[in-house]
Amino acid sequence: MKVRHRERQFMQTTGASPVVNVNTGQAAPSALPRHRAVFKCTRALAKILPLLGLASAALPLSANPLDDKFSLDVGTFLVTTNTKVRVDGSSGMLGTSFNVEDTLGLTSQYSFRVDGYWRFAKRHKVRAEYFSTNRSSTKTLDRDINFGDETYPVNSQLTGWLDEKIYGLAYEYAFAKGEHYEVCGVLGLGDLSFDLKVAGYANNLMVQKEASGSANAPVPAIGFDWTWQMAGSHFLEVGGQYFQYSISGYNGNIQNYTVHYIFQPWKNVGLGFGWNTFITAVNVESTHFNGRLQYQYGGLQVFVKVAM
């Protein structure tokens, strides 16, 4: 009875009229839930918006990403990946270049990510980051695949396991700094750990064939990081890095771009979301991986920021 009373009161207030079925003379059942949803959304927004405004006004001016000493971002990452790989055999057999996601059926997933820095002087910071993803899937091949020393013919059922980790450490120097902004030069080095294993039964024969390829590619970084206090407790962070390198059997390049919005309603705790894209293409000559790796990920980040 209370729900019906509220619906009648809502329609009287807004002037809305129910949709009537011409055969039965009764209101169509889809009309009332639609009014009820609009009413609930409007009421929720009316409660949330003033709270955001009060929280923003309550933030002390000294507590922000432009002058905090320590900062730690912990959150989730909805990752979309595009991985193309070729692993040659030890006997000289040329591997097949194939897209891991399409060929093995690996899909996007939520992943854990952590990022933090220590500002040890007014214009100097050290930043560290960690990101990992682990996926597996089984799919029937639509073509022949040479992977390492094994060949998997068309129609073989192949299972793949892919484990990726990225570690990064960088030094940042603020060469331009003002009351509401900071522009830093970035110089860093990281590691991309890539481990792909496949196993399958060729044409339903009861003999399983396994092969794997793993690499630890260096991820050097030269770039910039820009932080801007838009208003009160609202901040925008934009960063970009690029590097071309040839180091110890690895020859390639990396690109890394980020955009983050941060809302810090409390002195030591904030919320953020944004986008990160990472791209690398590298030729590898090593004991466990001889071939080429093209790896790209990108996705939406949502995180909690703890600072002091």
Residue 90 has pLDDT above 70, yes or no: yes
Residue 109: predicted pLDDT: 72
Confidence at 23, pLDDT banded by 50, 70, 90:
very low
Which of residues 303 and 4 earns the better pLDDT score?
303
Q: What was the pLDDT predicted at 26? A: 44
Output the CATH code of domain 70-307.
2.40.128.90
- Please check the confidence at residue 37 and state whether its pLDDT lies above 50: no
97 alpha-carbon distance from chain centroid: 25
Averaged over 59-81, what is the pLDDT? 81
Closest residue by Cα to residue 125 from 188, 64, 179: 188
Question: pLDDT tens-digit profile of 248-272?
Answer: 788 999 999 999 999 988 888 999 9
CB 100, CB 160: distance < 8 Å: yes
Inter-residue contact 236 to 264 (CB < 8 Å): no
Closest CA to 146 of 258, 307, 290: 290
Give the separation between CA 188 and CA 198, rounded to whole angstroms. 33
Within its chain, how far is the Cα of 18 from the centroid? 45
The mean per-residue pLDDT over the stretch 104-119 comes to 86
**pLDDT band for position 301 (cuts 50, 70, 90):** very high
Would you list the domain boundaries of the chain? 2-58, 70-307
What does the mean pLDDT of the chain come to?
A: 80
Mean pLDDT for 43-70 is: 58
The band of 40, judged by pLDDT with boundaries at 50, 70 and 90, is: very low
Task: Please give the helix or strand (H or E) that residue 116 lies within, else none.
Answer: strand 109-121
pLDDT at position 245: 87
- What is the CB neighbour count within 10 angstroms for residue 261? 14
Which is more confident, 153 or 46? 153
Q: Is the pLDDT higher at 105 or at 56?
A: 105
Please report the beta strands in 122-268, taking only residues with DSSP state E, as ranges in sequence order: 124-140, 145-147, 150-152, 157-177, 181-201, 208-231, 234-247, 250-263
| pLDDT, tens digit, 9 for 90 and up, residues 195-229 | 988 888 655 555 567 778 888 888 888 999 999 99
| pLDDT above 70 coverage of the chain, percent | 77
